[in-house]
Homo-oligomer: A and B are copies of this chain.
Amino acid sequence: MIPFSVTILGSSSALPTTTRFPTSQVVNLNDRLYLIDCGEGTQIQLRKFGIKAGKINHIFISHLHGDHYLGLLPLLFTLHLFGRTKELHLYANEALREIIDLQFKASDTRLLYPLIFHPLTPGKSEKLYEDKKISVMSFPLLHRVPTHGFVFRQQNKERNMIAEKISELGIPFAQIEAIKLGSDYTDRHGIVHKNEDLTKAPTPAKVYAYCSDTGYYPKMIPFIKNADLLYHETTFMQDMVANADEKQHSTTIQAANIALKAEVKKLLIGHYSARYDELEPLLKEVKSVFENAELAVEGERFVIGD
């Protein structure tokens, strides 16, 4: 099974290039897919990289600049044409609801599947989704229109069984789930075996944080603190810092400083301006401040916590 990971579908900023697509990423946990942003051509990229769009149940849109959402309607129509009937949850700025509804109306479309819209609250952090395996939080970023980052946090509350104890004590299969969740085990002789003798601490839950688009914004740090992997936009190199500040985008050095202060384990950069043909100089600048960094590149998969 594919480990908890994120695959890059698009790494460009607003102007796409011949090799780079606008922003989109897929988080995979236990073969359930979570789509983050959906620039033009997202469905083209999904097909190209062999990722099944039908496995996406949750879509998170950071903000309503075109390069982050204009591939959404095409994807929604395609899922409809493929006969999807499963619920699809969409988390985005309230204004997107009307944009979608108007286009369904114009094309006389009645979706075959329930599209459940969850509006994001501008300027607020909220828990958007939670199940036994994952939780997703939003948090505000600094940009020209209301924009949110997202934190994907593995939920790992189950302790790990010590395998030898199962055979040694003859623990029935039916009891194991309860023990993993913290119960003691009483054997057929009435002897109670303490949970801490049967299990080891849970595997640490991994965390992925996504920040795009944003200017330099240290207020995000509490939300992304200690993340295993942080994606932070680097639209510009440091010589263009005035431009970045004006447009509320970030430079390489600004992203690296956020990663450093938030004490994340690894930094992934992207949302590159079309002016950069070569990306190595951006990575080099980032690494001068924060060494454990990588470039987001279309089709690359990054394991969270690797």
Contact = CB atoms under 8 A, between A and B. Distances in A.
Contacts of A71: 40
A1 to B, nearest CB: 26
Copies of this chain present: 2
B66 A107 contact: yes
Smallest CB-CB A-B distances: 3 pairs: A64-B106, A40-B74, A95-B106
A259 B93 CA distance: 48
A73 B73 CA distance: 11
Given A40-B41, A48-B18, A77-B14, A66 B103 contact: yes
Interface in A1-60: 14-16, 18, 22, 40-41, 43-44, 47-48
Contacts of A70: 70, 73-74, 77
Given A18-B47, A70-B70, A95-B106, 11 more contacts: A15-B82, A16-B43, A18-B48, A22-B74, A40-B44, A41-B41, A64-B106, A66-B73, A66-B103, A70-B77, A99-B106
A96 B103 CA distance: 8
A181 B22 CA distance: 51
Contacts of A98: 102
Contacts of A103: 64, 66, 99
A64 B145 contact: no
A163 interface: no
A85 interface: no
Interface residues of A, number: 36
A106 B81 contact: no
A71 to B, nearest CB: 7
A78 interface: yes
Contacts of A96: 106
A197 to B, nearest CB: 55
A225 interface: no
Contacts of A77: 14, 66-67, 70
A108 interface: yes
A153 interface: no
A144 interface: yes
Contacts of A15: 78, 81-82
A65 interface: yes
Nearest to A103: B99
Nearest to A94: B106
Contacts of A93: 106
